[in-house]
Amino acid sequence: MSIEEGYRPLEPGVRTDFTQELDYAGYLHLDTLLSAQHPLSDPQHPDELLFVIQHQTTELWLKLMVHELVGARGFLDTDDLARARKSLARVKHILRTITEQWSVLATLTPSEYAEFRHVLGPASGFQSVQYRAVEFLLGNKNAQVLKVFAGNPTAHTFLTEVLETHTVYDAFLRLVARRGLPVPATVLERDVSRPWVEQPELVPVFREVYEDTTGHWDLYETSEDLVDLEDAFQLWRFRHLRTVQRTIGFKPGTGGSSGVAFLRRALDLTFFPELITVRTTIGTS
């Protein structure tokens, strides 16, 4: 029978016997992955599986983001700017993917979600270890949130380590200094466990980069990569806010936050403020 008769025949070289060989499901541990969805509504609500899978897949992407950001930081530490930029580019694409993913969850109507929201109890995305690690790696350090993970020693230890190590931006600024640009010692020697706050002394440094792109092309391009990353992160935050507002209105979050108001305040957070401020100075006398 040919393909015109209803099916595409297997090519002679296609493997079909995996009794002694690793197959696709085994490599990906699909038995474990596809059995990790356990809706709690009883009887099971047909839309709870969507809610579970949406958040599980986001956690997988966050895991990759942590991996790539740690990698980018390491490449910056060793002056391998090209490989650092590749990792940052991958993070930007991940953010675009999980931003678009909100459109799937947005098909969950308020009436549908209200029918099973109670089974979450106090569970909330605020408690995501990996999301917190991403924010820490990008400079939004907040030691107070470690209290949320006090009952999980493994998570608490991991996040404490990320809190106490330098950020991707710290690594970039150290590289900029090694290139001979006048990054202030107070920046290079700062307490990296503290949240980043804008450093006005850095603005002239970045102005030099932006006004001499020929002499600082790779630093200029990496600066734009970081701005791209921040824009992508903010779009993800905004899409999250709009999806929550669409689904629960202005109800409090399951984890105890104020919900939409709490998410809106996050939009005021910035990872690389000097890279925005410098734009005001470019082209001026």
Residue type, 190: R
**Does 55 appear as a known binding residue?**
yes
Which residues are within 8 A (CB) of 126 and not within 5 positions of it... i.e. 6 or more apart?
Answer: 148, 253, 255, 257
**Does 162 appear as a known binding residue?**
no
Comparing CA positions, the residue from 92, 111, 257, 84 lying closest to residue 174 is 84
Q: Tell me which DSSP letter residue 139 carries.
A: T
**Does 240 appear as a known binding residue?**
yes
**Does 45 appear as a known binding residue?**
no
**Axis crossing angle, helix 217-248 with helix 168-178, rounded to the nearest 10:** 170
**Does 54 appear as a known binding residue?**
yes
Task: Kindly state the tokens that stand for 220.
Answer: 């200029």
Query: With contact defined as beta carbons under 8 Å apart, do 252 and 261 qualify?
Result: no
**Does 242 appear as a known binding residue?**
no
Give the chain's end-to-end CA distance (angstroms, integer): 77
- 17 burial (CB, 10 Å; 0-12 / 13-18 / 19+) is exposed
Which residues are within 8 A (CB) of 200 and not within 5 positions of it... i.e. 6 or more apart?
Answer: 274, 277
Q: Tell me which DSSP letter residue 143 carries.
A: G
**Does 144 appear as a known binding residue?**
no
CA distances from 187 to 13, 62, 126, 174, 195 (A): 60, 28, 30, 9, 12
- 15 burial (CB, 10 Å; 0-12 / 13-18 / 19+) is exposed
Which residues are part of a known binding site for heme? 240
Which residues are part of a known binding site for substrate? 51-55, 113, 117, 254
Which residues are part of a known binding site? 51-55, 113, 117, 240, 254
